[in-house]
Amino acid sequence: MSEIKKFKLTCIICPLGCPIEVTMEGDKIMRVTGHRCPRGYEYAVQEVTEPKRVIMSVVKVKGGIFPTVSVKTDKPVPKKLMPEIMKKLADVEVEAPVHVGQVIIENILGTEANIVATRPA
């Protein structure tokens, strides 16, 4: 029988910040408690298997209303890829006009997430 581990998490899905406890036996999830919605359950399972985050930044713009345009990943990406994605974004420069939702980089690092603009420029 494999070892029983308990993970105490704080849900980051919404500002309520529910304290969630996940009980695992080896790689198997035995019990999830403390969440108040299905999204909290999903978050907890994801967090103990492969934590993911939405990444946000700004990239340079040529000829826009602001010198930068803000961007994010359109879905959460593995947390461990954060530094690599940020490095990629540092070299990006786009041409104005940019509209909200415009894809800046498709399928970043094979994550199936796109980098999209969140502010016009």
Partner 1 sequence: MQNEYDVVVIGGGPAGLAAAIKSKELGLKVLLIENREFIGGIPIQCVHPGFGLHYFREDLTGTEFIYRLIEKFREMEIEHYTNAHVLEIIPHSYRHKILKVVTEKGLLNIMTKTVIYATGARERHIFEIGITGHRVAGIYTAGEAQTMMDIYGIMPGKEIVIVGSGDVGLIMARRFTLEGAHVKAVIELMPYPGGLTRNIVQCLEDFGIPLYLSHAVTRVEGRKRVEKVIITKVDENLRPIPGTEKELECDTVVLAAGLVPYLKVIEKAGVIIDPATKGPVVNSYLETSVPGIFVAGNALVINDLVDYVVEQGEEAAMGAYEFVKNEGLSTVKWKKLVKGRNIRLVVPHYVSEAKDVMIYARVAKPEENIKLRFPEIGKEMRLPFVKPSEMIRIKLRKRDIAKAEDKITMEVVPNE
Backbone angles phi, psi at 43, to 5 degrees: -60, -45
To partner 1, the closest distance from the beta carbon of 110 in angstroms equals 20
Q: Which CB, 24 or 61, lies closer to partner 1?
A: 61
Residue 100 Cβ vs partner 1, minimum distance, rounded to whole Å = 5
Q: Binding residues for partner 1, per CB under 8 A?
A: 9-15, 17, 53-58, 60, 65-68, 70-72, 79, 82, 86, 90, 100, 118-120
Burial of 76 (0-12, 13-18, 19+ CB in 10 A): middle
Residue keyed to tokens 């961007």 = 71
Q: In this complex, which beta carbon is closest to partner 1, that of residue 24 or of residue 52? A: 52
Q: How far is the CB of 29 from partner 1 (least distance, A)?
A: 19
Strand, coil or helix: what is 110? Answer: helix
Minimum CB distance to partner 1, residue 118 (Å): 4
Residue 29 or 92: the one with the smaller Cβ distance to partner 1 is: 92
Closer to partner 1 at the Cβ: 26 or 97?
97
Which neighbouring-strand residues pair with 52? Answer: 78
Long-range Cβ pairs for the range 17-24 (8 Å, 24+): 20/44, 22/47, 22/48, 24/48
Compute how many other C-beta atoms are within 10 angstroms of the C-beta atom of residue 117: 21
